[in-house]
Amino acid sequence: MQLLEDEAIVELYFARKQEAITHTQNKFGRYLLKIAMNVLSSMPDSEECVNDTYLRAWNAIPPQRPNMLSTFLGRITRNLSIDRLRRQRAAKRSSRYETSETDQEGNVVTMMGAGYDLSLNELEECLPGESAPEGGFSDEVGEALDAKELGKTISEYLRTISEEARRLFIYRYYDMESLKESAALAGVSEAKAKTLLFRTRQGLKAYLEKEGWNL
């Protein structure tokens, strides 16, 4: 099937054509599944979240008209995946990880657990939210990433840094990629990625404090 431009796919949604979902799946399915897997580490759960993403998109477009369809869909998948992970934890009350280890720059280098935990653990010190309870990370950190005003402030900060650092941040903390995969996608060494992410987190913390956020 020919890949359509984002604008053409959005027009299919506005026309209420079922092909909109088919084209969305064809163009973005693998990308969305990877986001879900980074959070859930379960193929069946991830596939369900991706399928739910298509339904959410169908119900949201119209009236919404996303400028960047991949970002719009990725956010839906990530939120659905995080919500599912929280429900699973609430039901089981069991840890998905056993030990963690960070390097001197605060990057998680080893941990038994999902990518969601790995990436948000690195962000806890520079985002608003309660301290994580013993044996787990704060869900408020995950919620904070999608809070409208905070998201706007983070976007403003990301526009002040280099494209390389911005791409790394997005790969690591929005797409929930591993440190190694984030570095590969950004085309830098893992060592450089660790340093850039550390500096970006420190810069974000300072920027949020300057903007009046209580960290």
84: Cα separation from own chain's centroid? 14
Contact at 8 Å (CB) between 136 and 145?
no
30: Cα separation from own chain's centroid? 15
CATH 1.10.10.10-classified regions of the chain = 102-210
What 3 state SS string does the chain have?
CCCCCHHHHHHHHHCCCCHHHHHHHHHHHHHHHHHHHHHHCCHHHHHHHHHHHHHHHHHHCCCCCCCCHHHHHHHHHHHHHHHHHHHHHHHHCCCCCCCEEECCCCCEEEECCCHHHHHHHHHHHHCCCCCCCCCCCCHHHHHHHHCHHHHHHHHHHHCCCCHHHHHHHHHHHCCCCCHHHHHHHHCCCHHHHHHHHHHHHHHHHHHHHHCCCCC
> What's the confidence (pLDDT) of residue 141?
55
- Topology of 102-210 in CATH? Arc Repressor Mutant, subunit A (1.10.10)
> What's the confidence (pLDDT) of residue 126?
78
- Lookup: tokens for 69: 């369809």
pTM of this prediction? 0.64
Q: pLDDT tens across 55-91, in order?
A: 999 999 999 999 889 989 998 998 898 888 878 776 6
Q: pLDDT tens across 107-153, in order?
A: 443 333 445 555 666 777 777 654 333 334 445 555 555 556 777 78
Checking if the pLDDT of 54 tops 90, the result is yes
- Lookup: tokens for 112: 């038994």
What 3 state SS string does 52-98 have?
HHHHHHHHHCCCCCCCCHHHHHHHHHHHHHHHHHHHHHHHHCCCCCC
Q: Is 6-92 assigned to CATH 2.70.98.10?
A: no
Query: Residue 127: left if φ>0, alpha if ψ -120 to 50, beta else—which one?
Result: beta
